[in-house]
Amino acid sequence: MTEPTPTHHPNPAGIRRIAVLTSGGDAPGMNAAIRAVVRTATFEGIEVVGVRRGFSGLHRGELQLLGARDVANTIQRGGTILLTARSHTWRTPEGRERGARHLREWNVDGLIVIGGDGSFHGGHFLQQEHGVPVIGVPGTIDNDLYGTDHTIGYFTAVETALDAVDKLRDTGASHERIFVIEVMGRHAGHIALDVAVAGGAEEVFIPEDGKPVSDAIAAVRDSVAKGKLGSIIIVAEGYPGGAQGVADAIQAETGYETRVSILGHIQRGGSPVSSDRILASRLGEASVYALMEGRSDVMVGRGAGGITYTPLHETWEKRKDVSRELYRCAKTLSV
């Protein structure tokens, strides 16, 4: 087998210098995406400017040149070496105008935004108002962006949550307790559903499904009747009342000892698993190529085994549903 030789990508847009930033909540794999952007651009003879602290830093002019060595030994690190922040000033036309001015002063030909729907809003308006070519890279543990099968950080967040569930099941069974575990997912139940199936949960509650808490009560009673030593209930944070509401209802109606564990921000941290590193590397590379091809105001994603391009506004205007087949599977296997 002959080893493939890297060839230079066509650059009809004449890109000579690009900028990259991370914005919003951090996600494991963001550093792998930054690394891929920098090294792909370097290979293509394009300079890279790193923007610290997201749009907040762009507004303040926190820019610096990045080279291939600056991103060495980062692919395995969680968080983001560029730091991230939420910016209220960027929500104003004046804030975006100032950021665009900084990009012009640095002779930037295009901007790559790694983040979620809020970050994509910021990039979209920058492109619309100031003509700056913008490419979005989906970096959010919630996996809630339309236009890509998975988002960077999702796989690691699921593994982190699942590890916690496994440990809580051990202690729950030892004490014959019910554990109601809350995972992240303010508007989407992708993490909750995956963790429920992989963790063998008796019930799962997600924002996409408005089923009543009485389902949890019935599931717990059924588990006890079958002789199970403990029960695991998974709740996405966006479900009304959250894990505490579900636990309170179970204890009040059944009298069974019930404990709540809210995993919280631990799901955002840690070294990214291989799937997130690979996804981030592919999408980081694709984002540079997209700018070189003259694309703008789109998100690069993965679908049907290849790279996809979705208009930024569609990533938040269109809804990405959870897998209904997996939801059915969760119910079938909880018997």
Quote the distance between the C-alpha of residue 291 and its chain's center. Answer: 22
Tokens 């019910």 sit on residue: 178
Identify the three-state secondary structure at position 325.
helix
Q: So which residues are the catalytic ones?
A: 142
Bridge partners of 299? Answer: 136, 310
Return d(Cα 313, Cα 146) in angstroms, integer: 10
Helices 30-43 and 274-292: angle between axes, nearest 10 degrees: 40
- Rounded to 5, what percent of the chain is helix, strand, coil? 45, 20, 35
Closest CA to 307 of 330, 321, 290, 291: 290
Closest CA to 235 of 254, 255, 256, 263: 263
Helix (H) or strand (E) holding 20: strand 17-22
Ranges assigned E (strand) in 23-152: 47-51, 63-66, 110-115, 134-138
